[in-house]
């Protein structure tokens, strides 16, 4: 885990998670149907344990409908009371689609967990990091985004302003 931000956090938190390691597609298999490897299942459990230790309970999960993202979500072992949405736009999305999904949730208070795919999840995290107060440290922390990488940002204001927000990168796991 890399801690980047300092100071008190009173803003909303955004957790950006790339799905855990999935196996390669088999002949005739759709990309969206690829499951996690056994190692990927363990990665998801480790991320879930870290989230629990940080006492960050999402008030909403936005998850790509692909099998590997759903299995990553299952491995996190979040309480069943946490609302989950599977917007089709999160699969094969560009980072602007991720921002639109968040902006549409302007009434949501509290932490939001977004589970998606590269390159969009990495591009979105990098864009937020580059707008942070300590952009160099933040950019270095999210330079690579391998499977099961989780970046936690503090977002000032509401979700409707996510594309222009001065996010603060708090941690990378």
d(CA 66, CA 70): 6
Q: Tokens in use for 129?
A: 């990091």
pLDDT of residue 1: 52
Task: Give the tens place of pLDDT for each residue, 128-170.
Answer: 988 887 777 777 778 889 999 999 999 988 888 887 778 888 9
Of the two residues 92 and 164, the one the predictor is more confident about is 92
Distance CA 117, CA 110 (A): 23
What is the mean pLDDT of the segment spanning 87-93? 93
2 has a pLDDT exceeding 70: no
Q: Which position has the higher pLDDT, 141 or 25?
A: 25
* Sequence ranges of the domains in the chain: 2-23+33-172
**Average confidence score pLDDT of the chain:** 90
Segment of 9-13, 87-91, 131-135 carrying the highest mean pLDDT: 87-91
Q: Give the list of residues 6+ apart from residue 163 with CB closer than 8 angstroms, or none.
A: 96, 99, 103
Indicate the fold that domain 2-23+33-172 takes in CATH: Rossmann fold (3.40.50)
Strand partners, 14: 112, 153
C-beta of residue 171 within 8 angstroms of C-beta of residue 151:
yes
Q: What is the pTM of this model?
A: 0.91
């Amino acid at each position: 885990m890399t801690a980047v931000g300092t100071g008190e956090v009173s803003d909303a938190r955004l957790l950006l998670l790339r799905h855990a390691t999935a196996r390669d597609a088999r002949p005739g298999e759709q990309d969206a149907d690829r499951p996690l490897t056994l190692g990927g299942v363990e990665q998801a459990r480790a991320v879930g344990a870290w989230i629990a230790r940080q006492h960050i309970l999402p008030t909403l999960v936005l998850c790509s409908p692909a099998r590997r993202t759903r299995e990553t979500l299952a491995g996190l072992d979040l309480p069943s009371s946490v609302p989950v949405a599977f917007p089709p736009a999160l699969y094969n999305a560009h980072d602007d689609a991720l921002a639109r999904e968040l902006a549409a949730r302007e009434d949501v208070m509290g932490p939001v967990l977004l589970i998606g795919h590269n390159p969009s999840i990495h591009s979105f995290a990098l864009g937020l990091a580059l707008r942070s107060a300590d952009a160099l440290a933040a950019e270095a922390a999210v330079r690579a985004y391998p499977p099961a990488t989780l970046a936690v940002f503090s977002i000032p204001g509401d979700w409707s302003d996510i594309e222009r927000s001065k996010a603060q990168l708090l941690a990378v796991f």
